[in-house]
Amino acid sequence: MIVADTLTKSFGVKTAVSQVSFTVPPGQVTGFLGPNGAGKSTTMRMIVGLDRPTSGSVTVKGLPYRQLSSPLTEVGVLLDANAAHPGRSARNHLRSVAATHGIGKARVDEVIGLVGLESVAGKRLRSFSLGMRQRLGIATALLGDPQILILDEPVNGLDPEGVRWVRELLRGLAAEGRTVLLSSHLMSEMSQTADHLIVLGRGQVLADAPTADLIRDWTTASVVVRTPLLDDLAAAL
């Protein structure tokens, strides 16, 4: 579980995140929805200890991320698909990450197969498309078989088949009882992936509700019609 309590982050005079509170429980896919600049990535960086909150707090499994005993095996994170060294192959990148946490080569091969990179695992990352880098980032997040996943815009650069694959993967992991938090600026994608949405705008929580409820509220429209022929209109409807 992830719990944020009145998180605020300022950069100089600019407040990127303001008084944000939410809970991400296990067993469902929770989506961060909002336009670019809404504060999604900054909030995720605070969750995993890359940015220090100006005020407020956030815990993962009841602890600040920095206090987790084995972060890679407890929390899988994808924040930047371009973070891996371009001169390494996909396999060597995963092996180097695995070695820091005592994870064997068999698991590396397993996640390579899971994300569909078997045919390019020996190629250097500088030759990878954004979609291939996203798959590698997801493989890295899954490497430690964590119970919590935090993924920032994981479908960026993926083709429709890849998007469907990510959707099915995340929903399957949530069905196993894992905690899944992902961000997107696309409501169309979130509506098919997330069970619950936290909507951010200008660094603040605008909505925090089940996806189905938000879709119903946002798509229900009423039209006011004024006419001197009310009886005729009523008969026609």
**Tens digits of residue pLDDT in 124-148:** 999 999 999 999 999 999 999 999 9
Distance from C-alpha of 152 to C-alpha of 158, rounded to nearest angstrom: 14
Alpha-carbon span 185 to 108, nearest angstrom: 31
Confidence of residue 117 (pLDDT cuts 50, 70, 90): very high
Average pLDDT taken over every residue of the chain: 91
**What was the pLDDT predicted at 233?**
41
pLDDT over 70 (residue 169): yes
One-character DSSP codes across 101-167: TT--HHHHHHHHHHTT-GGGTTSBGGG--HHHHHHHHHHHHHTT--SEEEEESTTTT--HHHHHHHH
Do the Cβ atoms of 26 and 147 come closer than 8 Å? Answer: yes
Tell me the whole-structure pTM to 2 decimals.
0.89
